[in-house]
Amino acid sequence: MKCKSDFPNSRPERKKIVLAPLDPVHDVGLKLIRRKLVERGHEVTLLPPDLSPEEVVARAKALEPDFLMVSRAISYGTSELLAKFVDLCDASGLRERTKIAAGGLSMRPEMAQELGFDAGFGPDTPPEAAVAYVEGREAQAVECERPMSKVDLTAGFSYEFRDKEIGDLCLRIARQLVNWAQDKTSPGVERARLRLDMEEARAAGDEKAASEIREKYAGLCGGEVERWYRTGEPVAHTRLLSDREIEEISRLKEGGHSGDYPRSQDILARYNVFIQYGTGCPVMDAYHINLSLAFGARGVIHFDPSWGARTEGLLEGAWSHQHDGTVLTLDNLRLIKNALLPGTMWQVRAHRGLNTPETVILAHLAGADLTKINIVYGSLGAGTDPARLAVDGIESMRLAARFGLPYDVVTNEELCGVPAKKAFAGMLIVATAGVLLGGRPILQPLFANSPEAIIAGLTEDNFIDFNAAKMEVLREIIDAPIWPGAPVGFLTQSQDRCQSSTMTALHAALALKIGAQAVTIASSDEAYAGGPITAPARVDTLKTTAAALRFFGSAGISPSRKAKDIAQELRQGILDVLKAVAERGDFVASLYEGLLGDKEDGAYPGRAGRDTVKVK
């Protein structure tokens, strides 16, 4: 990553500069600036603190500098003090040959300009900006370029099992699952194929064929979605976007974004930090996305309404939704895609409902980079019938492989209370089936103070060991990418924004510092579902995540010895669960019977889509 304020190779014209702190003791910032100026060959005089404005002006007058730069850290009386200082500079004749500038923790560029300074530098300004100003280069060059290329999170992974015992069991169960689904279909699978045919007909300009396919599609829908196709009556709490709103998204992109973000956030350029959006309105999503990208996010995740997972069929058109989650349609996705900056990784999740295969198709058609598929969580924690999601999940993984879409396999059922051994066994089975189908799955363990950890006392001393053990055991089992999230830190935050942001940042830093390929974070108010997702809350977590990563730096984070003990126990637990599922000989039956999460764990087989699977 290259900072715009990097120095040019050529030596500048030598300047004489006086630096003066207008504080009793605070001169650290000016010392940093002096060091940079001296390195560039300039003549610099640093005056001591606790001089009066009159003394500073008198000494500067005697030295006849090209620049006089003063700093102010203490906030009280700043405007009055600096206004008096400017008047003294004018009255003494100092400004006839000397430019004056002000900076510091209590300074804002606008304040400096209003008071009559030639330049002003705020608290987030790096020393290089002051040097650039002295040398006649652009003083605004204080931001850092965000990466413009996308990262393949699955690159370099072989998906080979390092743990042969666990690998053999996963392969055995995954093959049984794939074979079981081979001759079965569902309304979701059939709609997905119709959607692909319909969009291909529209792209070819064959509206008659598209209309005929659309009629067949509507016949496979249910509830309010079917009613909309038949009568045009909107789904509850939705409305079509206006032309003005659609134009607003285009103007946002046309208005441009430099692709830069504050220097304080530059460390995030080294990591793949995802945020999930889903305000309900694509226009608001576009603003939230661009704001998040401006503060260092590398990727964004489309979060859809829960009713979309429980209702057969998806709408068409550009819709706004009154409640949580943005309506999943091709039009909405394309609008949001148009708002993304270059280099933004984009995931459209498809893991948990009755429209999973079709969502993979929409993700492909809209140009998404990633999707999300998990049969276990979707059927035990998100309400879809296990047999239905098994059939739809296998088809989704086939489609993802066909379209070259990597996908994470989430273990969020642990939020329900399902222990990690069962959650990880299910994740590994699904990931193995994905590899068998030619896909590129990504393991997504939950990093949080989960119910299991709370009940078993695994996080009484610290939150590092239990979560680090998850990464360690997965690495020992299989060579695959790991992306903690969906998002990290859930069940660990309170309604206090400071605490919520801090816990999110620490979980994210832990994951990234011990080698995760990516991490997903939530805004501080999203973490406890305390109402609308606000823009400041998004910035909260991105700024604290950057601060945490900068704090640990190359020193990293070290788990205690207990982490290895937890990892060993977890590995044995995963093995025992896999043996039980393999002995049962039926993956779907194992879901119904609780082998991968039962009622005592807080997991229940879903009901949506029950009895809709049929033989082809």
The three-state DSSP-derived secondary structure of 224-283 is HHHHHHHHCCCCCCEEECCHHHHHHHHHHHHHCCCCEEEHHHHHHHHCCEEEEECCCCHH
Cα–Cα distances in angstroms (integers) from residue 142 to residues 31, 123, 604, in the given order: 18, 12, 53
> What is the pLDDT of the chain when averaged over all its residues?
91
115: tokens are: 């008071």
Last residue of a domain, one of 566, 594, 610: 566
Is 60 exceeded by the pLDDT of residue 57? yes
Who contacts 274 (Cβ-Cβ below 8 Å, separation ≥6)? 297, 298, 299, 300, 301, 345, 347, 485, 518, 519, 520, 521
Give me the mean pLDDT over the 496-511 stretch: 92
Last residue of a domain, one of 566, 582, 610: 566
Say if residue 276 is in the same domain as residue 344. Answer: yes
Is 80 exceeded by the pLDDT of residue 223? yes
Phi, psi torsion values for 70, nearest 5 degrees: -115, 155
- Which of 541, 315, 565 has the alpha carbon at shortest distance from 456? 565
- At 99-110, the pLDDT tens digits run 999 998 888 888
The H-or-E segment that residue 119 falls in is: strand 119-121
SS (H, E, C) 270-296: HCCEEEEECCCCHHHHHHHHHHHHHCC
Could you tell me the residue range of the domain that residue 50 belongs to? 16-141
State residue 75's pLDDT score: 75
Where residue 357 sits, what CATH number does that domain have? 3.20.20.440
Is 70 exceeded by the pLDDT of residue 261? no
Residue 595 maps to a domain:
no
Give me the mean pLDDT over the 492-499 stretch: 81
Residues 357, 392 contacting (CB under 8 angstroms)? yes
Is 90 exceeded by the pLDDT of residue 492? no
Say if residue 174 is in the same domain as residue 287. Answer: yes
State residue 436's pLDDT score: 98
Say if residue 63 is in the same domain as residue 194. Answer: no
Q: Please provide the DSSP assignment of 456-510 as one string.
A: HTTTSS-SHHHHHHHHHHHHHHB---B---SSTTTTS--S-HHHHHHHHHHHHHH
For the stretch 186-196, what's the b/e string if a residue is b when 16 or more beta carbons lie within 10 angstroms of its beta carbon? bbbbbbbbbbb
Give me the mean pLDDT over the 297-302 stretch: 96
State residue 238's pLDDT score: 95
Say if residue 137 is in the same domain as residue 175. Answer: no
Residues 1, 144 contacting (CB under 8 angstroms)? yes
Give me the mean pLDDT over the 483-512 stretch: 89
Say if residue 197 is in the same domain as residue 102. Answer: no
State residue 74's pLDDT score: 79
Give me the mean pLDDT over the 7-22 stretch: 83
Give me the mean pLDDT over the 208-223 stretch: 97
Confidence band for 214, pLDDT divided at 50, 70 and 90: very high
Give me the mean pLDDT over the 503-519 stretch: 96
Say if residue 507 is in the same domain as residue 457. Answer: yes
- Helices 386-403 and 420-436 sit at what angle, rounded to 10 degrees? 50
- At 147-190, the pLDDT tens digits run 888 999 999 999 999 999 999 999 999 999 999 999 999 999 99
State residue 3's pLDDT score: 44
Who contacts 10 (Cβ-Cβ below 8 Å, separation ≥6)? none
Who contacts 102 (Cβ-Cβ below 8 Å, separation ≥6)? 69, 70, 71, 72, 82, 112, 115, 117, 119, 120, 121
CA–CA separation, 510 vs 515, rounded Å? Answer: 9
Residues facing 482 on adjacent strands: 443
Higher-scoring residue by pLDDT: 218, 278: 218
State residue 256's pLDDT score: 53
Is 90 exceeded by the pLDDT of residue 486? no
Residue 582 maps to a domain:
no
pTM for the full predicted model: 0.87
State residue 12's pLDDT score: 78
CA–CA separation, 172 vs 241, rounded Å? Answer: 49
Say if residue 344 is in the same domain as residue 465. Answer: yes
Q: What percent of the chain has pLDDT over 90?
A: 72
Phi, psi torsion values for 544, nearest 5 degrees: -70, -35
Name the residue type at position 454.
I
Residue 591 maps to a domain:
no
Domain count, the chain: 2
Residue 464 maps to a domain:
yes
Say if residue 340 is in the same domain as residue 429. Answer: yes
State residue 568's pLDDT score: 97
Residue 404 maps to a domain:
yes
Say if residue 359 is in the same domain as residue 406. Answer: yes
- Give the position of tokens 């492989």: 401
Confidence band for 200, pLDDT divided at 50, 70 and 90: very high
Which ranges of 298-417 does DSSP label H, i.e. alpha helix? 307-310, 330-339, 356-366, 375-380, 386-403
Residues 151, 134 contacting (CB under 8 angstroms)? no
Q: What percent of the chain has pLDDT over 70?
A: 94
Q: How many residues does the chain have?
A: 616
Residue 58 maps to a domain:
yes
Higher-scoring residue by pLDDT: 27, 101: 101
Say if residue 135 is in the same domain as residue 196. Answer: no
CA–CA separation, 53 vs 50, rounded Å? Answer: 9
Cα–Cα distances in angstroms (integers) from residue 50 to residues 45, 73, 275, in the given order: 16, 12, 46
Residues 105, 73 contacting (CB under 8 angstroms)? yes
Residues 486, 522 contacting (CB under 8 angstroms)? no
Who contacts 30 (Cβ-Cβ below 8 Å, separation ≥6)? 19, 20, 21, 46, 69, 71
CA–CA separation, 452 vs 467, rounded Å? Answer: 12
Higher-scoring residue by pLDDT: 382, 234: 234
Residues 68, 88 contacting (CB under 8 angstroms)? no
Higher-scoring residue by pLDDT: 75, 362: 362
- Helices 464-477 and 497-513 sit at what angle, rounded to 10 degrees? 30
Is 60 exceeded by the pLDDT of residue 228? yes
Say if residue 136 is in the same domain as residue 178. Answer: no
State residue 6's pLDDT score: 53
Where residue 68 sits, what CATH number does that domain have? 3.40.50.280
Residues 382, 346 contacting (CB under 8 angstroms)? no
CA–CA separation, 429 vs 378, rounded Å? Answer: 14
Say if residue 244 is in the same domain as residue 317. Answer: yes
Residue 488 maps to a domain:
yes
State residue 248's pLDDT score: 86
Q: Please provide the DSSP assignment of 411-450 as one string.
A: -GGGGGT--HHHHHHHHHHHHHHHHHTT--EEEE---S--
The angle formed by the CA atoms of residues 594, 595 and 598, to the nearest 5 degrees, is 30
Is 60 exceeded by the pLDDT of residue 450? yes
The angle formed by the CA atoms of residues 213, 216 and 217, to the nearest 5 degrees, is 85
Residue 579 maps to a domain:
no
- Give the position of tokens 């709490």: 237
Rank 158-162, 261-265, 540-544 by mean pLDDT and report only the highest.
158-162
Phi, psi torsion values for 100, nearest 5 degrees: -115, 140
Phi, psi torsion values for 394, nearest 5 degrees: -65, -45
3-class DSSP state of 192: helix
State residue 7's pLDDT score: 55
439: tokens are: 């896909």
Lateral strand order in the sheet of 441-444: 441-444, 407-410, 370-372, 345-349, 299-302, 273-277, 519-521
